[in-house]
Amino acid sequence: MRSLWNAVIVENRKLSRSPVLWGMLVFLLFVTGIRSGGADWTEHLGSMTFLFASVFGLMGFGTITAWTFGREYADRTIKDLVALPISRGTIVIAKSAVIVLWCLIATLLIFGFALLLGWLIGVPGFSVDAVWRSLVELLTIAAFHLLLCSPVALLASISRGYLVPIAYAFTTLMVALTAGPTVLGPYLPWSIPALHLSLSSEGGTLFPLGKASYVILIAVCELGIAGTMSWWKRADQR
C-alpha cells in the first residue's frame, strides 16, 4: 500500500507539473467560455455538458491519458520505472489513479467556470435544481469518458509514445460525431456518452440507453486495463 502511495505521489507530481495538463485545461475553459449563455440556466449548463459529452471527454481525457503513459517512452524514462521495488502493475494503477483524479478536477473546474460565467453574463432563471441536475449529468458523462481512456493507455504503451493515442482520440471523436446519430450509435463506445446525455435530457431517466451500451463501455474499459497491465508486465521494454 505504501509503495502504491509513493507511486501516486510521484505520478501526481509529474502530471500536475506538466504543460500538457494546464494547456488542455486552458483550451477547454476557452471553448466553454465562447459557447456559454442561453435562455436560462438549463440551456447554459446543458450547452457545456453537451460539449463535454461530445468533444471534451474524448479529446481532453484522451490527451491527458496519452501524455501520462506516452511521455515515459517519449522522454525515454520508461526504463527507470521497470526495475524498481514497486511492481509495474502498481505503476499502472498509480498512473490511472492520477488520470482519474485530474480529469475529475478538470471537470469540476469547467463546471465552476460555467457557473461563474453564467453569473457574470447574467443568465436568467437560476435554479439549484438545474445546477444539481447538470452536475450529476456532467459527472456521469465524465465517468463514461474515463472508462474509454484505458484503450488510450494501452495504445500509448504499445506505440511507445503519445502521438498514436492522440491520433486515436481524434479518430474516435470523428467516428462518434459521424456514426453517433445512426443506428450503430448506441453500440459505438465513443458515441454512447453523448447519446446517453441527449436521451436522459429528454426522458429524465438515469440510464436511458439499453443495457448493452453500458456493458460495452465497461467491456472496453476492462479490455484496455487488462491489455495495459499485461503489456507493462510482460512485453519487452526495449
Partner 1 sequence: MQEMIRTEKLTKRYGDYPVLSDVSLSVNRGEIYGFLGLNGAGKTTTIRMLLGMIRPTSGDIYIRGRCLRDAKPDLWRHVGYLVETPYAYPNFTVRDNLRMIARLRGLSEQSAADAVMEKLQLTRYANTKSKNLSLGNAQKLGLAKAMIHNPAILILDEPTNALDPAGIVQVRELLRSLAEHEGVTVFISSHILEEMSKLASRIGIIHGGSLVQEITSRQFEQLRRKRLVADVRGASVAAAELLTGAGYTVQPTAEGRIEIAGEHALGQPERIARLIVDAKLPLAALKVEEEGLESYFLNIVGAGGPSSREEEASADRELEQGGSSK
The verdict on 210 binding partner 1 (CB under 8 A) reads: no
Q: Give the span between the Cα atoms of 237 and 61, in whole angstroms.
A: 26
Tell me whether residue 129 or residue 236 sits nearer to partner 1 (CB atom). Answer: 236
Site for partner 1 in 49-78 (CB under 8 A): 75-77
CB-based contacts of 114: which residues, under 8 Å, 6+ apart?
Answer: 32, 36, 44, 45, 48
Tell me whether residue 39 or residue 82 sits nearer to partner 1 (CB atom). Answer: 82
The verdict on 80 binding partner 1 (CB under 8 A) reads: yes
CA gyration radius for the chain? 18
Among 10, 29, 139, 177, binds partner 1 (CB under 8 A): 10
How many residues touch partner 1 under the rule CB under 8 A: the total is: 27
Among 26, 79, 215, 223, binds partner 1 (CB under 8 A): 79
Q: Give the span between the Cα atoms of 158 and 230, in whole angstroms.
A: 11
The verdict on 34 binding partner 1 (CB under 8 A) reads: no
Tell me whether residue 111 or residue 162 sits nearer to partner 1 (CB atom). Answer: 162
Q: Give the span between the Cα atoms of 25 and 6, in whole angstroms.
A: 26
The verdict on 13 binding partner 1 (CB under 8 A) reads: yes
Which span sits near partner 1 by CB under 8 A: 97-105, 173-181, 184-192, 229-237?
Answer: 229-237
The verdict on 237 binding partner 1 (CB under 8 A) reads: yes
Tell me whether residue 26 or residue 82 sits nearer to partner 1 (CB atom). Answer: 82
Alpha helices in the chain (DSSP H): 2-16, 19-34, 41-51, 62-74, 88-121, 128-147, 150-159, 163-179, 192-203, 211-234
Q: Which three cell numbers stand for residue 128?
A: 439549484
Q: Give the span between the Cα atoms of 198 and 205, in whole angstroms.
A: 11
Chain contacts with partner 1 (rule: CB under 8 A): 2-3, 6-7, 9-10, 13-14, 17-19, 75-77, 79-87, 234, 236-238
